[in-house]
Structure 1
Amino acid sequence: MAQDWFIELLKGMGRLLLHPVFYYSFIIAGVLGVSRVKRERKNFTVRAEDAYFELRQLFPLGLLVGLVISIVIIAAGIAIPFAAIVLVASATLLLSLITRVRLLTPAFTVGAAFFALIFLSGRQIDLPLAGDLFSSLDEKIYPSIAILLALLTIGEGFLILRNGKKGTSPKLKKSKRGQTVGVHEIKRLWVVPAFMLVPGSVLTLPFEWWPVFALGDNTYSLILVPFAIGLHQQVQGMLPKEAVQQLGSRVVGLGIQITLIAAAGYWYPIASIAAVAIAMVGREALTLMQRMQEESRPFYFSKKNHGVMILGILPESPADKMALGVGELVTKVNGTNVHDEHTFYEALSRNRAHCKLEVLDTNGQIRFVQRALYEGDHHELGILFVQDEKKWDSAVV
């Protein structure tokens, strides 16, 4: 029995390569990386992370989330019909065409598939390679799909908490008063591959080599399905790390609430519909709440009279090695008070071999950092400041 399961798991992994979302996610992540680099170069003449950063975030943490979801799905015997998998993939591809990555969340992709199944159930529709998937659907599938949505929403919150704060992108924009201010933008796409138990032998119809196995009196196919999860958040009134943590915690809380409601769907079918509807409305409400809260706060990254605010740090630069952080305020350079990027540069140029900075950290505490500057170091320090676009001097110091 254990050997059969192991063989099925290996075959299920191979089936991942048949799923279009697996390939499409690389395209979306690549587009996100290229567009971010172009915008950062426009604002600062340099980019923070390279264009492959978003591609590197696609799978590592998503594999862990997918493993946990797979264990829960298989251990609980939660069967997901192949029709739902097809519709989730279709919803993912269609929503991605709107070019808003935030719509690629389980609440919308799985939620749209859920209500599409209700509409298509009982209809005879022949699909290429798959045949008729909707005419013989059982009502028992709806609580299972609602549970899957809840698990993916909890996984989404975990991804935001653990990975969303990594590599947030600095950005310049104009305030309502016409002043140049800084914000941080997070555009991220994750892929969560999770094993799904597909009831029946529907997958063997177009593919004779597609194996099935039995659990009790029922037969199942095992398939590794990639679920795309997107995030788009713009932070202007607080530290990006704190804003991302706040959103992640709220999404996890929403996922837990959906799980409790969806579980009741096995006894009360209407609860499954309620759970999915709450997921879709609740996830959009969290986005709107975050946006309204940000707009009500003053800009965190704006020009200060008593120092220069650090908007971003270039990776592997001297500033990065000096452990300078986003949101900190540099008040003195080599003993000289600084109030903008130009005075910072002048004070730094007085000693090209060594720099000493007085920094006001995000807790309001003063600390001193210093470092010798060597030939071959990143040009200047690698700090991104809030400054006017296309200014005569460099945006990176």
Structure 2
Amino acid sequence: MAEAWAIELFKGLGRLFLNPVFYLVFLAAAYYGIQRVNRERQHFLVRAENAYFELKQLVPLGFILGVSLSLITVLAGLTVPIELLVFATVATIILMLTPKARWATPAYTVSIGFILTFFALEQNWPLPAFISSQVEGVEYLLPAAAMIIALLVIAEGIMITINGPKGTSPRLMKSRRGQVVGMHEAKRMWLLPLFLLIPGDAISLDSTWWPLFSIGDQSYALVAVPFAIGFQQQIQSKFPAVAVAAYGKKVIFFGALLLIIASGAFVYPIVSLAIPVLAIVGREWLNYRQRSVDAKAAFYFAKKNDGLMIIGVVPHSPADKMGLKVGETVLKVNGLQVNDEKGFYQALQKNAAHCKLEVIDTNNENRFVQRALYKTDHHELGILFIKEEFKKSHQAV
């Protein structure tokens, strides 16, 4: 028994590399990184994080979550038809080709796959010749698929809460009054590999072992499925890290609500049909609500009468080494009051070997930072400010 599981585990991992989504998420993450760097250079003449930042965020947390969810789905005996994986993969590929990164996430892709699977099994739609389905009826599979949608929504919320606030990208735009203001954007693609059980001939299981439901002497195969989790959020009215984390917690709560509803499907299978609809509508409502509230509030990154607000900090720059943070306001440079970017750099030249800054942190408390300057240092300390002028061709949309 243990040997059969070990063999199937390695075979399942091999199936991971047969799924085109596995490769597309890397291409998408690389594209988002290049796109971000180009925009930041247009707006600030320098980029914040390098173009590999999105790629570095792609796997680590998703792998941890994938292992955790795999244990839950396998130990609970959540079995899904191969049709669900096929349709979810097709939906993912199509939605990844759209400009909206947030659409390429399980709340949409797996929900669409669920709906198409229901009709495919009910209407006996033919599958490609290289895929063999061993499903007769859909009743016992619907609750499991609904539970997996809910679990993936929770995983998405965790990814947003933990990884979303990291390295949000600054950008400039013009307000309705024509003033140059700042905002932040998070646009990511994450990979969550998940082992799922599908009806097959690989592993024969004792039906009494499963805690949720019994399906006789059916055999199963393990398949490692690469789920793409896309995320995109623009923040203009709050501190970026706080706003993104708060949004992620709402997604977690929504996923937990879906999980509670989906658990009822094991008693009333018809309930599971509501899960994909609720997942799509609920995620759209959360996104609409976030954008609506954010658009009506005042801009967080706007010009101040006293000082200059930091909208971005280049990693490993003098500013980063001095501990300067996004959202802080520089009041004085080398003892001189500054109100614009030109005055900031003029005051910086007062002492080319050393700089001392007085700043107001995000808790509205004053503090002083200082550092020796070297010829190899970034010539602008690595601080990104709101520009005095902003070309219309570069305006954020």
Q: Distance in 2 between matches of 1:107 and 1:293?
A: 22
- Point out the more displaced range, 324-333 or 49-58: 49-58
TM-score by length of 2: 0.93
- 2:234 maps to a residue whose letter is Q
Q: Which amino acid aligns with 2:33?
A: G
188-197 vs 96-105, greater mean Cα deviation: 96-105
1:363 is paired with a residue whose SS is: coil
> How far off its partner does 1:390 sit?
6.2
For residue 338 of structure 1, what is the aligned residue in structure 2? 338
TM-score normalized with structure 1 length = 0.93
Matching of residue 214 in structure 1 with residue 192 in structure 2? no
Specify whether residues 314 and 57 from structure 1 end up closer, same or farther in structure 2 by C-alpha distance, changes over 3 A only: same
**Percent of residue pairs bearing the same amino acid type:** 50
**Contact between 1:106 and 1:149, CA under 8 Å: does it hold in 2?**
yes
Residue aligning to 1:60: 60
C-alpha displacement of 1:16: 0.8
The answer (yes or no) to whether the contact 1:43–1:389 under 8 Å persists in 2 is no
The 4+ residue runs of structure 1 with deviation greater than 6 A are none
1:192 aligned residue: 192
Shift, 1:24, TM fit: 1.1
Q: Distance in 1 between matches of 2:72 and 2:325?
A: 39
Q: Which residue does 1:374 correspond to in 2?
A: 374
> 1:7, CA displacement in angstroms?
2.6
Query: Who is 1:138 aligned against?
Result: 138
Q: Quick check: 1:122–1:136 contact (8 Å CA) kept in 2?
A: no
Q: What SS does structure 2 have at the residue aligned with 1:265? A: helix
Superposition deviation, residue 323 in structure 1: 0.8
- Aligned-residue offset at 1:351: 0.5
Instruction: State the alpha-carbon separation in 1 of the partners of residues 364 and 256 from structure 2.
Output: 36
RMSD: 1.5
How many angstroms apart in 2 are the aligned matches of 1:75 and 1:128?
30
Q: Is the 8 A contact 1:83 1:134 kept in 2?
A: no
The structural deviation recorded for 1:121 is 2.0
**How do 1:89-168 and structure 2 match up within 5 A?**
89-131=89-131, 133=133, 136-168=136-168
Partner amino acid for 1:27?
Answer: L
Deviation at 1:183, TM superposition (A): 0.3
Q: Secondary structure at the match of 1:127?
A: coil
Identify the residue that residue 257 of structure 1 maps to in structure 2: 257
Q: Which residue identity is paired with 1:114?
A: F
For 2:310 and 2:324, the matched residues in 1 are separated by 8
Moved more, 380-389 or 248-257: 380-389
Contact kept in structure 1, 2:81 and 2:135, CA below 8 Å: no
Task: State whether structure 2 residue 264 is matched by structure 1 residue 291.
Answer: no
Q: Which moved more, 1:379-388 or 1:299-308?
A: 379-388
Please give the alpha-carbon distance, in whole angstroms, between the structure 1 residues aligned to 2:390 and 2:221. 58
Deviations 1:149-178 (A, max 9, x none): 111011001101110011100000111111
Distance in 1 separating the partners of 2:122 and 2:106: 25
Number of the residue aligned with 2:210: none
- Displacement, 1:197? 0.5
Provide the secondary structure at the position in 1 that maps to 2:122.
coil
Cα distance in 1 between the residues matched to 2:252 and 2:123: 36
**Could you tell me which amino acid in structure 1 is paired with residue 139 of structure 2?**
E
Unaligned runs of 5+ in 1: 202-211, 392-397
Question: Relative to 1, partners in 2 of residues 1:272 and 1:308: Cα closer, same or farther, differing over 3 Å?
Answer: same
Give, as a single letter, the amino acid of the residue that structure 1 aligns with 2:341: E
**Corresponding residue of 2:328:** 328
